[in-house]
Amino acid sequence: MNDMGLVVVGAAGRMGQTLIRTIHAMPGVRLAGAVERAGSAHVGHDAGELAGLGKLGVAITDDPLPAFAKADGVLDFTAPAATTEFAGYAAQARIVHVIGTTGCSAGDEAKIAAAARHATIVKSGNMSLGVNLLAVLVEQAAQALGPEDFDIEILEMHHRHKVDAPSGTALLLGEAAATGRGISLGEHSARARDGHTGVREDGAIGFASLRGGSVVGDHSVILAGTGERITLSHQAEDRAIFARGAVKAALWARGRKPGLYSMRDVLGLSRAG
């Protein structure tokens, strides 16, 4: 089979540049296009030069549709408004859409699910192998250690530029804990505490977010019992772990029937029985 042609949208971003370098380094894929928003100073420049690779002969464009028409897939780590728009275009072009963007609203998720009727979409709040394995462990721990004995709190820290909270990963880990407990995260999460909060609500899954410096992404799931505490954690040291996962997801999705898939589908990580 030919190398899979991938378009990177948000090509000038932190993840966009990492994706361009990762595509260049991985077998089975090639950079087919690079997209930035209209008005970006990067439009017209070579994507390889922007990513520190030297000239690749792929100019950054602000016109996604012609780029998608010549590609097999799109890697999208941008922003919710852009991602919902790209989902429509990817469905139109019938190409794979790998979505790493976080901070999507319920309305955004509905638009993405609608696009997945025509496109093969892989979406995850975290594309790394480590975090997706951690989610399996969290699900198992939450199932084994019930709410009468253990409280679950999720702590995350990210760089000063991050715009959404809790992180997509924290929510993914919260979903895993809720699944393990057989409850709905929406009905059992404590998202912010300030002032006179009263005592902790029984069975709640709590979230706390820290922002600062250049932290790539730290996550801890704390199961706090009386007299003992278990902490399951992951530290991302390099954005390449997310980019490699995204490329792996695109290759996995190629030729697969339309639908909305997760990284756990891609990695074959089973759910707790």
Ligand X SMILES: NC(=O)C1=CN([C@@H]2O[C@H](COP(=O)(O)OP(=O)(O)OC[C@H]3O[C@@H](n4cnc5c(N)ncnc54)[C@H](OP(=O)(O)O)[C@@H]3O)[C@@H](O)[C@H]2O)C=CC1
Site string for ligand X, 40-79 (x = CB under 6 A): x------------------------------------xxx
Among 18, 126, 179, 220, binds ligand LZUJQKHR (CB under 6 A): 126
Respond yes or no: is residue 158 known to be catalytic: yes
- Single out the segment in contact with ligand LZUJQKHR by CB under 6 A; choices: 50-58, 164-172, 178-186, 196-204: 164-172
Closest CA to 55 of 34, 37, 74: 34
Given ligand LZUJQKHR, ligand X, none, residue 82, with its beta carbon under 5 to 8 Å by kind, binds ligand X
Which entry of ligand LZUJQKHR, ligand X, none binds 211, CB below 5 to 8 A by partner kind? none
Cα radius of gyration rounded to whole Å, the chain: 19
Region 204-223 residues binding ligand LZUJQKHR, contact defined as CB under 6 A: 217
Give residues with Cβ within 8 angstroms of 137, minimum separation 6: 232
Helix (H, G, I), strand (E, B) or coil at 271: coil
Active site annotation includes 162: yes
**167 lies in the binding site for ligand LZUJQKHR (CB under 6 A):** yes
Smaller CB separation from ligand LZUJQKHR, 14 or 37: 14
| Angle value at C-alpha 69, between 65 and 75, nearest 5 degrees | 75
When the beta carbons of 161 and 196 are compared against ligand LZUJQKHR, the nearer one is: 161
Cα–Cα dist 189/192, whole Å: 9
Under 8 Å between Cβ of 36 and 7 = no
Cα dihedral 189→124→236→74 (10° resolution):
-150
> How many beta carbons lie within 10 A of that of residue 91, not counting itself?
21
48's tokens: 């390889």
User: Is 55 or 160 the residue whose CB approaches ligand LZUJQKHR more closely?
Assistant: 160
Q: Which residues fall in the annotated binding site?
A: 10-15, 36-37, 100-102, 124-127, 159, 168-169
